[in-house]
Amino acid sequence: MEHPKKTATSRLHSFARHWKAAAEFEKVLKLDPKFEGVHFLLASAYKSLGDSGAAIAALDAGLRNKPKDLEMLRALAYLQMGTRDEMSALPTLQRILELAPADPGASMDLALLYQKSGKLDEALLRYQDVLLLDTGNFAAHYNLALIYWKLKKFASATEELELCARQAPENMDVLEQLGDFYAFQNQHAKAVEAYNKALAKAPARASLYSKSGFSLASLNRDDEAIAALEKAVQMDNTKAESLYLLGDLYADVKKYDECIAAYKRALELNPRLKEVHYNLGTVYAERQQLEDAAAELKAAVRLDPEYASAWSNLAIVSEKLGLDDAAIEAYRKVIALGKGQASNYFRLGILYAKRNMGDQAVTNLARAIELDPETYRQILREEIKKVHSALDSIRYTEPFARLLTGPPPAPPPHP
């Protein structure tokens, strides 16, 4: 191992040598500003000293004397691209390509600058120029894939990335991104294949198990999806989205305890996931844990006051809990959101009847019959056979009788 003191001394000697060289080249320029090659040598000395500004100035001065000097132009472009103002290299690269159209390095650098500045059409053309000169240029194919994707040309983007995957079959990042491209286009079987290839290279990457689980779930391969997501959560239990989907899958296979645990962990990580509150509330309701269900459904509608499905389930749960006021409010909210179904109108009508609010009861029952005459007329006929019924306040009124005996109401007009 080299001694630190010797290394520092060596660097000092090197610095002194480059500084001395720069001083000598400056003297030459004062004597003869057009001395052949001295500007390039001076720029090299300044670059070695870490003074990019002075190196660029030396090359600019040299190019005023020899504007077609490709060696200086290429050196200048290289230095400019290493500064904070890398876009200053654009005119330099354009000049190089005017003089040497078949320069793949300049075409590649120009394409990169166009891509960074958001000039995607120009970048695309330049990358295509690069590939005419070098058909196997991995970076050009990869960046073309990114540009096509940004331009929403998904098939072309995927084709380019597939080529990259063939060129670099060991590149797990490309394989993962290819899986992402497939998944976005609902080509989930191909996505799973790509993720599995990536997992063979990077078995410790939790995101791959998670993404594979999403695609497997989309293919209705629930057991495999659960296994993949369980592995993802085992490796990294900080991803709420994975836990959310895992909870959904547990519910599908009726593993309700595991489902509830997954949903609750997801909400610990991100309590603003309204869909998880909704799903957890629905599972609680199915298990007759009504107070827990109401709490989760209320959380869902607090996060999104226009969440009609959550309002509808909250109405049902509130009614089962005997909270008629809360149920009426929730049913009315569903209807106000324009999402009312026949069942919502029917239950609201029943609740109004229990409250002796006859006009409101008949109005909502009529709307339910309007939407589904056969079902709700039959339910009403069965209900009034009971000695005591929720309909007692309206069962003997003429408006209610017309609901049972009159012609089917006209269907609602189509918007």
For 326-361, write each residue's pLDDT tens digit.
999 999 999 999 999 999 999 999 999 999 999 999
Q: In this predicted model, what pLDDT tens digit does every residue of 81-100 receive, in sequence order?
A: 787 877 788 788 888 778 88
Task: Provide CB contacts within 8 A for 367, sequence distance 6+.
Answer: 340, 342, 345, 349
Q: Does residue 184 carry a pLDDT above 60?
A: yes
Confidence label for 105 from pLDDT (cuts 50, 70 and 90): confident
| Nearest-angstrom CA–CA distance, 68 and 71 | 9
Q: Of residues 94 and 140, which shows the higher confidence score?
A: 140
What's the confidence (pLDDT) of residue 15?
46
Whole-structure pTM value = 0.72
Question: What are the start-end ranges of the H helices in 32-68?
Answer: 38-48, 52-65
Q: Residue 248's CB: how many other CB atoms inside 10 A?
A: 19
What is the pLDDT, as a whole number, of residue 319? 96
Dihedral class, residue 220 (left if φ above 0, else alpha if ψ from -120 to 50, else beta):
left
Q: Roughly how many angstroms between the first and final C-alpha of the chain, as a whole number? A: 82
6-15, 74-83, 237-246, 373-382: the lowest-pLDDT one? 6-15
Specify the higher pLDDT residue, 98 or 319. 319
> Distance (Å, rounded) from C-alpha 184 to C-alpha 203?
23
Residue 388 confidence (pLDDT): 87
Give me the residue spans of the domains in the chain: 11-100
Grade residue 64 by pLDDT with cuts at 50, 70 and 90.
Answer: confident
Rounded Cα distance between 147 and 117, Å, is: 12
pLDDT tens by residue, 2-47: 455 445 444 434 545 655 655 666 665 565 566 566 777 777 777 7
Give me the chain's average pLDDT, please. 88
Q: Which of 21-25, 122-126, 137-141, 342-346 has the lowest mean pLDDT?
A: 21-25
Q: What are the tens digits of pLDDT across the range 143-183?
A: 999 999 999 999 999 999 999 999 999 999 999 999 999 99
Task: Measure the CA dihedral 357/358/363/364, to 10°.
Answer: 60
Q: What is the CATH number of domain 11-100?
A: 1.25.40.10
Tokens read off for 375? 């079902």
Residues 113 and 102: their CA atoms lie apart, in Å, by 18
pLDDT of 191 strictly over 60: yes
* SS3 of the chain: helix, strand, coil, percent, to 5: 75, 0, 25
- Taken as a whole, the chain contains a residue count of 415
Predicted local confidence at residue 16, as pLDDT: 52
Asked if residues 108 and 80 have their Cβ atoms less than 8 Å apart, the reply is no
